[in-house]
Amino acid sequence: MATNTDNSRRRTSPPRKRRRREGVSVLAVIVLLIIALLMGAFGGYTIARKTDTHIHQLQDANDRITELENTLTLIGYPLGEDVDPEQWVYDRTANDNALADLNGGDWGESEDDLWNDDSLLGATLPEDADPVVVAEFQGGQLLSNEVIPEYNDQLTSQIFSGHSADEVAEDTLNRVLKKLAGDKLIAQRAAELGLTELTEDDLSRIRQQATANYETQLEDAVAFSEEPGETRESAAAKLAEEGVTLESVVEALKQSWWTQKYFEHIVKDVTVTDDEVQACYDALLARQREAYTAYPEDFEFDHTAGELVVYRPEGYRAVRDILIPFPVDDAEVVATLTEQVELGTADADAQSQIDAMYETLEAAAKEVQDKLNGGQSFAALMEEYGCSPALKEEPLRSEGYYIKSTSFVNSPEYVEGAMMLEQPGQVSSPLRSPAGLHLVEYIGDVTPGEVPLADVRDAVAAEALKQKQTEYYEQQRDALLEAAQVKYYPERLR
């Protein structure tokens, strides 16, 4: 299916909440992995179809498929030539038994059959055992019921990333024990310093951050809703049903605000030298040169997400667009029909339906073209008519998307039309994407190679400072643990 970066934006992350163990079923994880595997296979096919001169890209896609297959093997899903392909279909037909939706799969009567001692997931620890002391230190202790949920979460994540439970279980447990013991010691120290008390300035900052976090959740709820015509009001009502309101976000931040205050207190005197800034730049440059050479799409996504980029691969140009969007309901219909056409499963009149829906946008696109021909600036018309959401904010609004002929962050027609433009300043004819019609302006070529440190010095200095602060904070945390003479009893968890 053609894709577009319309919902790619860098945002302030909402406050993290502990995942409940019962929140995501094993079946759901398996289904997501199967979907990911199928999409990976389709992605590999698409690469081969678009260009047979980039064999290394096809190999990279195959490598990623292999990683997913390995993960499926870990959880016991059948693979091999003798497996019926129909077993890979999740058809949602068995309303009374979700496991039966995996056609042909002999999964037993319940999800518990997937979570057993024969599976590597059996390395997780039971959460219903009586609590025992698993660590003690001056002024406190750590109980098993505090450790086990965190350990199970981290171990399960590692298993589904392709690691062997036998290889990572011990290190994961030791790491969790140390972290949670450190958290308790830090909480004690923060209370001694008076940092757990909230000031008026704290409350003001909490309200400001909570508002930003809640707005992000609300925007995401609207953008990714499966309900046609979702509004802020309806999304807010659904979030409220789940217990998420602005006030609940404020209260959550109040409970954890002392951790930020403690961190700021510990690292307040940390600074970076010019040599440390240079070292950070050199390390970042080396890492990005390797990563972006192997996976150019990572460069495109990082730039679009507002990440610090210090290396640019060859062959890119900068573009921006004016978007004439579909109404929400039409966008969903077009996306579904387009996918069916590309997969060869569409009805005979599907393409005609798609064409007719795009025709409803052509009058507005023609109006924009007439204004451009009349001398109005592209930037002014972006403001008047709108653009892809990622381009609404600086610096991307001025810099534009970075694309080349093999880009996948926009629809194929968007990319092909943008690459046909011959001179900076030229504007394309209306180009289709699942979002609507785009008029794309060729801003200019992206200078390849390393971005001079002088051009990004402030951003690199901020990154170097963040890294040094984190390292120093961890050193102080370790010093607290050593001074508290912590004794660990991991054997009590087995």
For 338-404, the three-class secondary structure string (H helix, E strand, C coil) is HHHHHHCCCCCCHHHHHHHHHHCCHHHHHHHHHHHHCCCCHHHHHHHHCCCHHHHCCCHHHHCEEEC
**Count of alpha carbons within 13 Å of 379, Cβ hemisphere only?**
8
Residues 175 and 158 sit within 8 Å (Cβ to Cβ): no
9 part of a folded domain: no
Provide the pLDDT confidence category of residue 20 given band limits of 50, 70 and 90: very low
* Bridge partner list, 165: none
From 76, 102, 118, give the residue that closes a domain: 118
pLDDT of 30 over the 70 cut: no
Encode pLDDT of 345-388 as tens digits: 878 888 888 899 899 999 999 999 999 999 999 999 999 999 98
Highest averaged pLDDT of the listed ranges 27-31, 33-37, 258-262: 258-262
pLDDT value, residue 104: 46
Of the two residues 337 and 60, the one the predictor is more confident about is 337
Distance CA 88, CA 36 (A): 12
Residue 109: per-residue pLDDT: 46
Mean pLDDT of 3-15: 35
Helices (H) and strands (E) in the chain, counts: 16, 9
- Rg, C-alpha atoms of the chain: 26
Domain count, the chain: 3
Same domain, 226 and 329: no
Confirm whether 182 is domain-assigned: no
* More confident call, 478 vs 71: 478
Is residue 244 located within the same domain as residue 367? no
Question: pLDDT digits over 321-330, tens only?
Answer: 999 998 877 7
My answer on whether 250 and 301 are in the same domain is no
Q: What is the CATH number of the domain that holds 424?
A: 3.10.50.40
**Cβ distance 53 to 70 under 8 Å?**
no
Q: Torsion angle, CA of 173/175/178/183, rounded to 10 degrees?
A: -110
Quick one: pLDDT at residue 321? 95
Same domain, 236 and 310: no
The predicted pLDDT at position 54 comes to 44
**Domain-ending residue, one of 118, 134, 156:** 118
Position 19 pLDDT exceeds 50: no
Residues 6+ apart with CB under 8 A from 192: none
Q: Mention every residue, 6+ apart, whose C-beta is less than 8 A from residue 423.
A: 442
**340 — pLDDT class (breaks 50, 70, 90):** confident
Same domain? 82 vs 224:
no
**Confidence band (pLDDT; 50, 70, 90) for 90?**
very low
| pLDDT at 27 (0 to 100) | 46
Residue 170 within any structural domain of the chain: no
Q: What is the pLDDT of residue 85?
A: 53
Predicted local confidence at residue 114, as pLDDT: 45
H helical segments located in 142-199: 144-160, 165-192
Task: Note the pLDDT tens digit of each residue in 238-290.
Answer: 999 999 999 999 999 999 999 999 999 999 999 999 999 999 999 999 999 99
- Bridge partners, 311 (sequence order): 450
Q: pLDDT (tens digit, 9 = 90+) per residue, 402-428?
A: 999 999 878 899 999 999 999 999 999
DSSP bridge partners of 317? 403, 445
Q: Which range is least confidently modeled, 83-87, 96-100, 175-179, 227-231? A: 96-100
333 — pLDDT class (breaks 50, 70, 90): confident
pLDDT tens column, 343-355: 888 788 888 888 9
pLDDT tens string 150-196? 999 999 888 887 788 888 889 999 999 999 999 999 999 999 999 99
For residue 448, whether the previous peptide bond is cis, meaning omega lies within 30 degrees of 0, is: no
**Mean pLDDT (the chain, rounded):** 80
Give the pLDDT of residue 6. Answer: 38
Residues 305 and 370 in one domain: yes
The percentage of residues in the chain with a pLDDT greater than 90, rounded to a whole number, is: 53
Lowest mean pLDDT among 29-33, 77-81, 265-269: 29-33
* 147 within domain boundaries: no
Residue 232's pLDDT band, with cuts at 50, 70 and 90, is: confident
Domain boundary pick from 118, 146, 180? 118
Q: Are residues 389 and 302 in the same domain?
A: yes
- Cα–Cα dist 296/291, whole Å: 8
- CB–CB of 104/84 below 8 Å? yes
- Say whether both 303 and 436 belong to one domain: yes
Torsion of CA 298, 304, 305, 307, to 10 degrees: 70
- How confident is the model at residue 265, as a pLDDT? 96
Question: Quick one: 107 and 249 in the same domain?
Answer: no
Query: Higher-confidence residue: 142 or 22?
Result: 142
Sign of the torsion angle spanned by Cα atoms 118, 123, 124, 125: positive
299 and 446 share one domain? yes
Q: Are residues 247 and 306 located together in one domain of the fold? A: no
Task: Find out whether 47 and 295 touch, Cβ atoms under 8 Å.
Answer: no
Q: Which domain holds residue 344?
A: 294-450
Residues 250 and 321 in one domain: no
Are the beta carbons of 442 and 423 closer than 8 angstroms? yes
**In 3D, which of 250, 255, 220, 252 has the Cα closest to residue 236?**
220
| pLDDT score at 86 | 52
Report yes or no on 437 lying in a domain: yes
Confidence of residue 31 (pLDDT cuts 50, 70, 90): very low
pLDDT value for 222: 79
- 10 Å CB burial of residue 204 (0-12, 13-18, 19+) is exposed
Q: Residue 429 domain-assigned?
A: yes
- Residue 10 pLDDT grade (very low, low, confident, very high; cuts 50, 70, 90): very low
How does DSSP classify residue 127?
S
Cα separation, 282 vs 274, in Å, equals 12
Please report the pLDDT score of residue 483 as a whole number: 93
